[in-house]
Amino acid sequence: MQERKNTAEFLERVQAHQDIIHKVCFVFGRVPADRDDLAQEVLLQLWRSYPAFDERAAFSTWMYRVALNTAITFRRKLKTHAEDAPEPWVDGAQLACAELSDDLKTLYLAIGRLSAVEKAIIMQWLDERSYENIADTVGISVKNVSVRLVRIRKRLAQLIMEAKQK
């Protein structure tokens, strides 16, 4: 009975913030199958770790940590690493992506060109997480986050410009 209550409570909390899972999987997975695998793995990791979640951080911050750690350390199938894998929104199997606004398509295209660590940092900045949160999630100092964000933002702006010119 208690377990069922916990499950219901967990699902309710995850559902309230599940855009975090979708965004992380969309940014880190290059093909639909890869993204589905990743989403499932993130959810499983959240569920397994939930009993140890001590409410010291916000639930969404905790979800971000699990999702990013899982996305970056998850071993993918070798074929999904192919550099010529299609961008998500031009993949015919992902029709729903056609609904993305032009700005978001450009943004995702630019983020897709960043390294895994840069992606992890910029995503949290876009979601207006504090520098302390970002530092804690990535494992670097707050000062380092600030320095890196200047660099990553500059690069992202450059990549957005390039994407728009295409």
Binding site for other proteins (CB under 8 A): 7-8, 11-12, 14-15, 18-19, 22-23, 26, 37, 39-41, 43-49, 52-53, 62, 65-66, 68-70, 72-75, 78, 81, 96-97, 99-101, 103-104, 106-107, 115-118, 120, 125-128, 136-140, 144, 153-154, 156-158, 160
Considering the complex, state which of residue 76 and residue 86 has its C-beta at the smaller distance from other proteins: 76
> CA 131 → CA 47, 122, 163, distances in Å?
27, 11, 28
Considering the complex, state which of residue 86 and residue 125 has its C-beta at the smaller distance from other proteins: 125
Considering the complex, state which of residue 29 and residue 137 has its C-beta at the smaller distance from other proteins: 137
Considering the complex, state which of residue 72 and residue 85 has its C-beta at the smaller distance from other proteins: 72
Q: How far is the CB of 37 from other proteins (least distance, A)?
A: 7
Q: How far is the CB of 113 from other proteins (least distance, A)?
A: 14
Q: How far is the CB of 165 from other proteins (least distance, A)?
A: 14
> CA 38 → CA 24, 56, 104, 105, 146, distances in Å?
9, 26, 21, 21, 29
